[in-house]
């Protein structure tokens, strides 16, 4: 299969690519689309065969559920049954964070095929704020199942070029909408009612909607605090080993812990690239990528994260060494991806 990449750079180009994507999706094909988080591999969420093609193209195991994207509350109501005891919280979170990088796990309606949810009674749902993605789902008038557009377990793509490297000759179309604005996958939560005025918000995967942002809407319980001990994932993004480059990756707690093997070459993923942090000078690195040069701004680090990790993966180094990232704000999401990649 030949893979075509079409640019959505100008308004005229956008109209053309939207029409082409809608045609293919209506025909049961899969299409790589830009979102604000990472590029997604989209299919009509009601078409089980089309969704099966996502799993095949990505080499994704069938037990790992997909995120379903909607155009708004009206479409959401066609695929989920929102329990009355959490309905107010769901509506508040929708008003606060949609469209945007927040995914909620909610009880599904039977119209959602089991292949989408890996047989679970719940479905992960969100609404993207990317204008190209939004226009496509608006024209299609159907929800889109869309996990990251990459081979399962590898680094998520934040550009059309990265998608092409991963899925060329596996899918018919890639829509190039430029670089993703957030750079890491969406935050995933599950809401649980309590006897308190505010609910528990179980953080299943950290992302751009941070713990600090969610705290005012309920008590945030991180995954390890939630006492959820299923062998199989109960939402997307739950697998222990994920988001990994081909090159082995190690997180270094402090510069003093680095012991180089003379027979190996090393590349450095630096948080802010400052000499005083001590990492730059401990080795003659084959390549260095800096997530937020000088300032250490976590949102900037998130945007550059997968791009920088890909550059290091392509450098030819034998091992990638990553500096620690502060586990606050969106830094928690970066740290989560690093820890899963390093296992």
- 153 and 294 share one domain: no
Spell out the residues 6+ positions from residue 266 whose beta carbon is closer than 8 angstroms to its own: 260, 283, 285, 286, 317, 318, 319, 320, 321
Sign of torsion over alpha carbons 94, 99, 103, 108:
positive
Q: What pLDDT score was predicted for residue 226?
A: 40
The structural domain count of the chain equals: 2
- 163 and 257 share one domain: no
The rounded distance, in Å, linking the Cα atoms of 23 and 6 is: 14
**For residue range 158-196, what is the model confidence (pLDDT) as tens digits?**
999 999 999 999 999 999 999 999 999 999 999 999 988
- 146 and 14 share one domain: yes
Mean pLDDT score across all residues of the chain:
94
Q: What pLDDT score was predicted for residue 243?
A: 82
- Residue 242 covered by a domain: no
- Residue 29 covered by a domain: yes
Q: What pLDDT score was predicted for residue 229?
A: 43
- 19 and 149 share one domain: yes
**For residue range 38-51, what is the model confidence (pLDDT) as tens digits?**
999 999 999 999 99
Whole-model pTM: value is 0.94
- Residue 213 covered by a domain: no
Domain boundary among 127, 143, 176: 176
Task: Name the residue range of residue 270's domain.
Answer: 249-342
Predicted confidence band at 233 (pLDDT cuts at 50, 70, 90)? Answer: confident
What value does the mean pLDDT take over residues 84-93? Answer: 97
Q: Is the pLDDT of residue 72 over 60?
A: yes
- 280 and 132 share one domain: no
- 133 and 280 share one domain: no
Predicted confidence band at 310 (pLDDT cuts at 50, 70, 90)? Answer: very high
- 18 and 167 share one domain: yes
Q: What pLDDT score was predicted for residue 235?
A: 81
- 152 and 276 share one domain: no
Domain boundary among 176, 194, 217: 176
Q: What pLDDT score was predicted for residue 164?
A: 97
Name the percent of the chain lying above pLDDT 70.
Answer: 97
- 166 and 308 share one domain: no
Tokens of 225: 């605090």
- 164 and 268 share one domain: no
What value does the mean pLDDT take over residues 128-132? Answer: 98
Q: What pLDDT score was predicted for residue 135?
A: 97
Annotate the chain with three-state secondary structure.
Answer: CCCEEEECCCHHHHHHHHHHHHHHHHCCCCEEECCCCCCEEEEECCCHHHHHHHHHHHCCCCCCCCEEECCCHHHHHHHECCCHHHHHHHHHHHHHHCCEEEEEEEEECCCCCHHHHCCCCEEEEEECCCHHHHHHHHHHCCCEECCECCCCCECCCCCHHHHHHHHCCCCCEEEECCCCCCCCCCEEEEEECCCCCCCEEEEEECCCCCHHHHHHHCEEEEHHHCCCCCCCCCCCCCCCCCCECCCCEEECCCHHHCCCCCCCCEEEEECCCCHHHCCCCCCCCCEEEECCCCCCCHHHHHHHHHHHHHHHHCCCCCEEEECCCCCCCCHHHHHHHHHHHHC
Spell out the residues 6+ positions from residue 283 whose beta carbon is closer than 8 angstroms to its own: 258, 260, 266, 268, 321
Q: What pLDDT score was predicted for residue 234?
A: 77
**For residue range 273-300, what is the model confidence (pLDDT) as tens digits?**
999 899 999 999 999 999 999 888 999 9
Q: Is the pLDDT of residue 246 over 50?
A: yes
| CATH number of the domain that residue 11 is part of | 3.90.870.10
**Neighbour count for residue 109 (Cβ, 10 Å):** 12
- Residue 71 covered by a domain: yes
- Residue 207 covered by a domain: no
- Residue 224 covered by a domain: no
| CATH number of the domain that residue 323 is part of | 3.40.50.11030
What value does the mean pLDDT take over residues 145-159? Answer: 96
- Residue 208 covered by a domain: no
Predicted confidence band at 225 (pLDDT cuts at 50, 70, 90)? Answer: very low
- Residue 92 covered by a domain: no
- 12 and 160 share one domain: yes
Q: What pLDDT score was predicted for residue 343?
A: 64
Domain boundary among 176, 205, 229: 176
Q: Are 165 and 7 in contact (CB under 8 A)?
A: no
What value does the mean pLDDT take over residues 325-333? Answer: 96
- 147 and 263 share one domain: no
Q: What pLDDT score was predicted for residue 165?
A: 95
Q: What pLDDT score was predicted for residue 224?
A: 54
């Amino acid at each position: 299969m030949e893979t075509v990449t079409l640019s959505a750079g100008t308004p005229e180009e956008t109209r053309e690519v939207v029409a082409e994507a809608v045609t293919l999706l209506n025909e049961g094909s899969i299409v790589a689309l830009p979102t604000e988080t990472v590029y997604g591999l989209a299919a009509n969420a009601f078409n089980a065969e089309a969704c099966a093609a996502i799993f095949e193209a990505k080499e994704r195991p069938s037990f790992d559920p997909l995120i379903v994207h909607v155009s708004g509350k009206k479409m959401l109501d066609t695929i989920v049954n929102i329990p009355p005891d959490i309905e107010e919280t769901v509506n508040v979170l929708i008003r606060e964070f949609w469209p945007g990088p927040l995914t909620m796990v909610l009880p599904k309606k039977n119209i959602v095929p089991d292949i989408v949810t890996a047989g679970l009674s719940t479905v992960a749902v969100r609404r993207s704020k990317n204008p190209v993605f939004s226009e496509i789902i608006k024209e299609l008038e159907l929800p889109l199942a869309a996990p990251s557009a990459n081979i399962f377990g590898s680094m998520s793509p934040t550009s059309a070029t990265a998608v092409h490297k991963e899925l060329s000759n596996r899918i018919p179309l890639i829509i190039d909408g430029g670089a993703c604005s957030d750079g890491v996958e969406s935050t995933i939560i599950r809401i649980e009612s309590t006897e308190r005025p505010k609910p528990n918000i179980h953080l299943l995967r950290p992302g751009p909607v941070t713990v600090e942002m969610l705290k005012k809407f309920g008590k945030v319980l991180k995954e390890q605090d939630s006492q959820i001990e299923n062998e199989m994932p109960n939402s997307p993004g739950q697998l222990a080993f994920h988001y990994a480059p081909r090159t082995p990756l190690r997180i270094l707690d402090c510069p003093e812990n680095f012991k180089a093997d003379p027979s190996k070459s090393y590349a450095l993923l630096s948080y802010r690239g400052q000499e005083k942090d001590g990492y730059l000078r401990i080795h003659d690195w084959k390549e260095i990528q800096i997530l937020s040069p000088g300032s250490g701004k976590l949102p900037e680090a998130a945007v550059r994260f997968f791009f920088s990790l890909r550059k290091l993966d392509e450098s030819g180094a034998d091992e990638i060494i990553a500096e620690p990232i502060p586990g606050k704000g969106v830094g928690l999401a970066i740290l989560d991806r690093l820890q899963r990649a390093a296992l």
